[in-house]
Structure 1
Amino acid sequence: MEFRNLGRSGLKISEISYGNWLTHGSQVEEDAARECVRAALDEGVTTFDTADVYAGTRAEEVLGRTLDGQRREGLEIFTKVYWPTGPGPNDRGLSRKHIMESINGSLRRLRTDYVDLYQAHRFDYETPLEETLRAFDDLVRQGKVLYVGVSEWRADEIERALKIADEMGFDRIVSSQPQYSLLWRVIEEQIVPLCEREGVGQIVWSPIAQGVLSGKYLPGQPLPAGSRATDDKGGADMIKRYLTDDLLTRVQELKPVAADLGLTMAQLAVAWVLQNPNVASAIVGASRPEQVRDNVKAAGVKLDADVLERIDGILGPVAIRDPEKTGSPAKRP
């Protein structure tokens, strides 16, 4: 396993992170989830990403039970706050009340005294940004959080947060967690240049585009049974944008590229996002341990310029690049 600094911070994280969105406590039984985490640990993964909202808080519980007994200093545990975790009006968002209550719940479920990174899962237009950043800074001072980050924020929102932190003497954001893959490149125009300038690193999710870049979805063929595309718990909604014959045909054209490099298509997809110097880690999920073992082989892979050009010639024309498609909620009038 290779390690990179998270942004300009001193925190080193594994190039491959293990994430449990749409798996632990949901698609995957706990015994299988435990095997996946153990496989990640065996392969040298030290960075684990989750969120309070995943599987209605159950994902944090499963991860906490699975990591219990591991040397805590040898792990980087990340979680997030924003989405509803209860029925009340204050059980969501980035108010001081919700942040303070949510971190306590996350720490209890994760069976730890602190998290290495606490991330604002989306931007909250109903809470003053100063209130959110002060609450995060207080958690750092209390030792419950070591670093703070964001997920799916627009470039202007990240820039505002950095400016306020500098003005008020708060700890700065060190990370951004966006979707990023060969097919979803919306961070490249605005977010990456800003973050490179400001010392903010990317921890990217869905580098295999919900499995599309593994090559298992074939043009004109039925969807594989048990795949993400047939999951009615949320996976199918995320992946359907990619299930066109033109796009799937182009993905198949990556097979000889991967073969020439001695990589699987999934390994090629993960390795590609890691070529971006602003990316500190790629999050992979899994329902089976062998998927983890396969994906981690992308760590340390270097792709030459001619390979990158060849890949871009195949998928560049269908890649989504519009920065307005960042997953931050729609701006309210």
Structure 2
Amino acid sequence: MKYRQLGDSGYFIPNMILGTATFAGSTEFFKKWGNVQVDEARELVKTCVDSGFNAFDTADCYSLGDAEVVLGEVLKDYKRNEIFISTKTGMWMSENPNDIGTSRTKIITSVEASLRRLQTDYIDLYHLHCYDAKTPHLEALQALNNLVKQGKIRYFGVSNYSAWHLMKMLSIADKHGLQRPIVHQAYYSLAAREFENELMPLALEEKVGTLVWSPLSGAMLSGKIMRKSQDTKGSRLGTDGVWDMDMEHLYTITDALEIVAQESGYSFPQISLAWVLSRPSVSSLVIGARNTQQLKANLSAGKIVLDSKHIELLDKASQRKLAYPYWHQRFTVDNRDPYPVKRY
């Protein structure tokens, strides 16, 4: 198990975090992802802790709070100062118009509710789960800073922000002498590299750590879907709980993964996770699992260092045609080896 620095803070976390969107499964949407109950969750958490991975990520919207309840029930068996808990707010929780977004009221109310469900006095890392166009950045930042002063959260970050939204928040924090978000939890994988266009350069320039969610693209890189065979039985892939994917592009990636797997002996998920861990700005990966066997295999990817020729093969297979102005920037300045073009 390897530790990495959490953004620009002085705190270090494991390079793998157990995500708990599969816990509880008490709503129709999250049931498609999984329905891990307390006993099963206890085994998954124990597997992580025994392997040295003591970090867990959840959100208030996962099964409308029930995932936090399951995680809290399990974690009460451990010493609090030896466990890292990350949770989020901002997504829809009810039909009440004030029960979505990141207003001061929503943030404060959500933190108090998460603390109760998690059975803890503080949250190590608190995320704004989604961008809220209705709430001023300053309002959210002031609420988060007050919660840090009160000791209810230790650090905070954002999730699913565009680069200009995150940069604006960082600038407002600096202008008003407030603590900055230190991490961005973002979607990034071999099959989804849009993060590299602006969010990765921003992360590097502003020292914002990246926690990657769905580094296997919702199990699309699990090895169950390949050009010549598909096996979705007993998997989330057999439901409509996954998102659209350019299948020809996916097959190009799985063709490359098949070559790397044959030459390295690693599985598709292990290779895909190791590739993301090799990327700049990445602090940790948030991974999910339905059973301990799958979890142990995925955790082992945290120790894998891919051969440079395999990374080059995967890079080439997963690269998409760049949107404007990124293709123009690469075309015009590539010969000068500029930052950030060749850094990734």
Shared topology, TM-score over 0.5? yes
- Structure 2, unaligned stretches of length 5 or more? 26-30, 327-344
Q: CA deviation at 1:222?
A: 5.2
Q: Indicate how the Cα distance of structure 1 residues 73 and 32 shifts in structure 2: closer, same or farther if over 3 A, else same.
A: same
- Matching of residue 259 in structure 1 with residue 262 in structure 2: yes
Partners of 1:71 and 1:310 in 2: how far apart?
44
Check conservation: 2:122, 2:154, Cα contact below 8 A: yes
**Equivalent position to 1:284, from 284, 287, 291:** 287
3-state SS in 1 of match to 2:183: strand
* Code of the aligned partner of 2:35: V
Partners of 2:324 and 2:67 in 1: how far apart?
31
* Code of the aligned partner of 1:270: L
User: Counterpart in 2 of 1:311?
Assistant: 314
Structure 2 counterparts to residues 1-333 of structure 1, below 5 A: 1-25=1-25, 26=31, 27-30=34-37, 31-219=39-227, 221=229, 223-232=231-240, 235-236=241-242, 238=243, 240-242=244-246, 244=247, 247-248=250-251, 250-317=253-320
Q: Per-residue displacement from partner, 1:204-238 (whole Å, max 9, x unpaired)?
A: 01111111212111336455212112234xx23x2
Partners of 2:325 and 2:225 in 1: how far apart?
27
Partners of 1:202 and 1:39 in 2: how far apart?
24
- Is 31-40 or 265-274 further displaced after alignment? 31-40
* Code of the aligned partner of 1:312: D
Q: Per-residue displacement from partner, 1:168-211 (whole Å, max 9, x unpaired)?
A: 11111100000110011111111111111111000001111111
3-state SS in 2 of match to 1:253: helix
Partners of 1:149 and 1:20 in 2: how far apart?
18
Q: CA deviation at 1:258?
A: 2.4
Work out the percentage of aligned pairs sharing the same amino acid.
38
* Code of the aligned partner of 2:233: A
- Is 89-98 or 23-32 further displaced after alignment? 23-32
Check conservation: 1:23, 1:286, Cα contact below 8 A: no
Q: How many residues align?
A: 318
Partners of 2:123 and 2:262 in 1: how far apart?
39
- Structure 1, unaligned stretches of length 5 or more? 325-333
User: Counterpart in 1 of 2:336?
Assistant: none
Partners of 1:79 and 1:124 in 2: how far apart?
17
3-state SS in 2 of match to 1:210: coil
Partners of 2:186 and 2:249 in 1: how far apart?
25
Partners of 2:20 and 2:161 in 1: how far apart?
21
Q: CA deviation at 1:23?
A: 4.1
* Code of the aligned partner of 2:149: R
User: Counterpart in 1 of 2:330?
Assistant: none
Check conservation: 1:8, 1:199, Cα contact below 8 A: yes
Q: CA deviation at 1:41?
A: 1.7
* Code of the aligned partner of 1:195: A
3-state SS in 2 of match to 1:187: helix
Check conservation: 2:271, 2:306, Cα contact below 8 A: no
3-state SS in 1 of match to 2:10: coil
- Give the TM-score taking structure 1 as reference length: 0.90
* Code of the aligned partner of 1:68: K
User: Counterpart in 1 of 2:342?
Assistant: none
Partners of 2:114 and 2:125 in 1: how far apart?
12
Larger RCO, structures 1/2 (Cα 8 Å, 6+ apart): 1
CA RMSD in angstroms comes to: 2.1
3-state SS in 2 of match to 1:4: strand
Q: Indicate how the Cα distance of structure 1 residues 321 and 53 shifts in structure 2: closer, same or farther if over 3 A, else same.
A: farther
